[in-house]
Amino acid sequence: MHALLKSSVLALAMALTSIPIGAASAQDLELHLGNDGPQLRLRRDCDPDREDCRDRGDYRRDRGDERWSRRRECTPDRALDKADRMGVRRARIDDVGRRTISVRGRDRFGDRIVVTFDRRDGRCPVLARD
């Protein structure tokens, strides 16, 4: 255990000295201790795919960044993924409208099913299941 602690401290010291000064400040660095051992990572401000960034001021949306607005709406790929997780087999896009996305497929009994998702929310909430 003592040797492992020594080697991880040595690896951390080597990693900190090898990072260029202009690349990242101390606030951007994050020490991650996991099953893989200690890792030094650069921390991002907010990752919309993994966490809810609405509490952070929405400065990107106010600035007019289109990538930010696209991530906040349901895409056809996200709708297909959610339909697959819901158990819709052989799912395919049926219709993409301004406010909804319809996915057609089969349920577990082989019956035809159409699931309609709300396009305005990135979590793709289900509006109707026929």
Mean confidence (pLDDT) of the chain: 77
- Average pLDDT estimate for 32-41: 76
Percentage of residues in the chain with pLDDT exceeding 90?
39
Q: What pLDDT shows up at residue 58?
A: 47
- Provide the residue ranges of all domains of the chain, joining segments of one domain with +: 1-43, 46-72, 74-129
Q: What pLDDT shows up at residue 117?
A: 96
C-alpha span between 85 and 88 (Å, rounded): 7
Q: What pLDDT shows up at residue 12?
A: 73
Residue 45, pLDDT above cutoff 90: no
Q: What pLDDT shows up at residue 2?
A: 73
Q: What pLDDT shows up at residue 30?
A: 74
DSSP secondary structure, 1-51, as one string:
-HHHHHHHHHHHHHHHHHS-TTT--GGGEEEEEETTEEEEEEPPS--TTTS
58-105 per-position pLDDT tens digit? 444 445 555 555 568 999 999 999 999 999 999 999 999 999 999 999
- Average pLDDT estimate for 10-14: 73
